[in-house]
């Protein structure tokens, strides 16, 4: 369509991470995906993904939060 949209994402209260990244990793974790799958999905939509290192760091943060529940 030739239009560009800007998505503003706040940082998480308990983390320095942006909420959109945190939720993207969470979605991959609960659906059996991973870093490569997220990168593939982002590329398909023409949006930048995240590095596997960033994905892993967020994944660890989520794991720690799940331990607190």
pLDDT digits (tens, 9 = 90+) for 4-58: 878 889 998 888 899 999 999 999 999 999 999 999 999 999 889 999 999 999 9
Q: Taking the model in full, what pTM does it have?
A: 0.84
pLDDT at position 15: 82
34 and 42 Cβ atoms separated by less than 8 Å? no
Q: What tokens appear for 30 in the block?
A: 């609960």
> How far lies 9's CA from each of 19, 51, 56, 68, in Å?
6, 18, 20, 25
């Amino acid at each position: 369509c030739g239009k560009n949209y800007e998505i503003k994402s706040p940082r998480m209260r308990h983390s320095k991470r942006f909420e959109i990244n945190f939720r993207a990793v969470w979605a991959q974790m609960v659906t059996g995906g991973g870093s490569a799958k997220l990168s593939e999905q982002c590329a398909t939509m023409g949006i930048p993904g995240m590095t596997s290192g960033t994905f892993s760091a967020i994944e660890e943060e989520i794991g720690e939060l799940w331990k607190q529940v």
